Structure 1
Amino acid sequence: MTFGLPPLPPAPGTTAGRPAGDVLGDEHRLLAALCTALAEPGLPPRRRRDLADVLAATATRHLSAEAQYLYPAVRSAVPDGAALADREIAATRELLAALRTGEGREEKLRRHAFATADLLDRLAAAASTEDLVRLGNRIETAEEAAPTRPHPGAPTTAPLNKITDPAIGLLDRLRDAVTGRPTRQECLYQRYSTRLF
């Protein structure tokens, strides 16, 4: 079963990359670690804000890539996939709003991780390993161009989100560069590894 992804050029061997389940599972663990770090008592206010910014950027990129590729794949390959995808798209809007306000984000992220794991299990039962690797590659690529700030009002369904998300992402990255807002965990390490406070 294919997901409607464009065909790969002919090449010997297997498709290189990681399956979608591995890619998204690693990201869910990163999001959980960021939530844990953010909940640490006694965190200086600036570091707390930087952690919240990285959490919001990481989750927003993650959700954008899922909306662009995972949900359409579920819709096309999983029995009753349309209803499952629609449910997760609605939950994504709520999660983006929670990321913007900070209220209930950990609970909504936890719920999202469980729901995505269920979708991935269903998808793995309906698709080949090669298709799952190709899907993982698409998700990783989409995250590079995705927005870094929550935009709950932006389109969340394909094909419109595949056009708008990279454009919004470009503007977000420009804004982040001008303001010095950290958007990746590595940015925090660079910022705080040489400081004594």
Structure 2
Amino acid sequence: MRHGESLALTIEATQRSLDGRLREAVMPHSDPLRPRDNYAATDTFMAATSRHLAAVEAVVLPSVRRTVPDGAALVHDYVHAARQLEHTLALIKGRLYGEAYAVHLAWPTLWDTVRTQLAEHNRIERQMVEELIGYGDPTDVEALPRKVFEAETHGPTRPHPVLPHTGFLGLVARRIWTLADRFWDSAEGRVIPEPVHPAHHRHDSLMAQYLVADPQFDADATILEHRHPRHGRPA
């Protein structure tokens, strides 16, 4: 697997998953025998999105700020997009459960807004991944998919747009609201989807694939794995 490919594939798979959950939430659910299907689909989309946003803020943003030239500006753009998306998710949650501040909002307008905001979030997220692959330390970048996955499994499952998103205060807020969200998820019987697993490692060569009995038949694989010569020794 090429440098950074695991991170790129994992983020791409997560974005596809969120897009699919959004489509399912928007889809009409009119089965009279399953009146809560619409609630479940919308709750699932909100939970998966909220958890992913929090994980990116906890894991990816510090790496971008630390290693990418002008990373602070990119982090600022991401946080702005994430806050907007979370704000709309909070309105959707209020509209779904009949809260007074949101009952007057039209569903088509809410869904159109969240589509636009999710697309913008995905664009900035992909840009961050590209910059990290270009400038980040390969070992650190390869560790990010697993860290994002672990952060998602322990992240808040509801939108919290007004809370701190970065720094120490953001870390404390995520921990506090994760506990609160889990309590209410259990009390309300919400089904929380599992995060997208990191992309599996693909062996670098066809020979390596054969030796470990894990043939992937990667079209880009070489017959033998290419290893860079050690410094101080002839190639």
Is the pair's TM-score, using the shorter chain for normalization, greater than 0.5?
A: yes
TM-score (norm 1): 0.79
Query: Which among 75, 85, 93 is matched to residue 95 of structure 1?
Result: 85
Q: Could you say which residue in structure 2 is the equivalent of 1:86?
A: 76
Give the number of the structure whose residues are more often helix, by fraction: 1
Aligned residues: 169
Q: Could you say which residue in structure 2 is the equivalent of 1:77?
A: 67
SS of the equivalent of 1:156 reads coil
Q: Could you say which residue in structure 1 is the equivalent of 2:19?
A: 32
Segments of 4+ moved more than 6 angstroms:
none
Q: Is the 8 A contact 1:23 1:140 kept in 2?
A: no
Describe the shift of the 1:75–1:46 C-alpha distance in structure 2 as closer, same or farther (beyond 3 A): same
Between 1:70-79 and 1:57-66, the stretch displaced more is: 70-79
Residue deviations 1:121-160, cap 9 Å, x none?
A: 1110012332112122221111111110101111101222
Describe the shift of the 1:166–1:19 C-alpha distance in structure 2 as closer, same or farther (beyond 3 A): farther
Distance in 2 of aligned mates of 1:46 and 1:166? 29
Structure ID, larger Rg: 2
Query: Which among 134, 137, 156 is matched to residue 165 of structure 2?
Result: 156
Q: CA deviation at 1:99?
A: 0.9
Q: Is the 8 A contact 1:71 1:85 kept in 2?
A: yes
Describe the shift of the 1:111–1:43 C-alpha distance in structure 2 as closer, same or farther (beyond 3 A): farther
Q: Is the 8 A contact 1:20 1:139 kept in 2?
A: no
SS of the equivalent of 2:36 reads helix
Between 1:97-106 and 1:28-37, the stretch displaced more is: 97-106
Q: CA deviation at 1:109?
A: 0.9
Tell me whether 1:62 sits opposite 2:71 in the alignment: no
Q: Is the 8 A contact 2:44 2:193 kept in 1?
A: yes
Q: CA deviation at 1:41?
A: 3.6
TM-score (norm 2): 0.67
Distance in 2 of aligned mates of 1:91 and 1:43? 33
Residue deviations 1:151-178, cap 9 Å, x none?
A: 1111101222222212211110111011
Tell me whether 1:119 sits opposite 2:119 in the alignment: no
Tell me whether 1:23 sits opposite 2:26 in the alignment: no
Q: Higher relative contact order by CA 8 Å / sep ≥ 6: 1 or 2? A: 1
Give unmatched runs, 5+ long, in structure 2: 93-109, 196-235
Residue type of the alignment partner of 2:126: A
Distance in 1 of aligned mates of 2:27 and 2:155? 28
Residue deviations 1:100-125, cap 9 Å, x none?
A: 11321122111111111111111100
Give unmatched runs, 5+ long, in structure 1: 1-17, 187-197
Residue deviations 1:64-117, cap 9 Å, x none?
A: 011111111111111111011011111111110111113211221111111111
Distance in 1 of aligned mates of 2:171 and 2:69? 24
Between 1:168-177 and 1:131-140, the stretch displaced more is: 131-140
Distance in 1 of aligned mates of 2:137 and 2:115? 33
Distance in 2 of aligned mates of 1:77 and 1:19? 18
Distance in 1 of aligned mates of 2:138 and 2:36? 43
Between the aligned residues of both structures, percent identity stands at 28
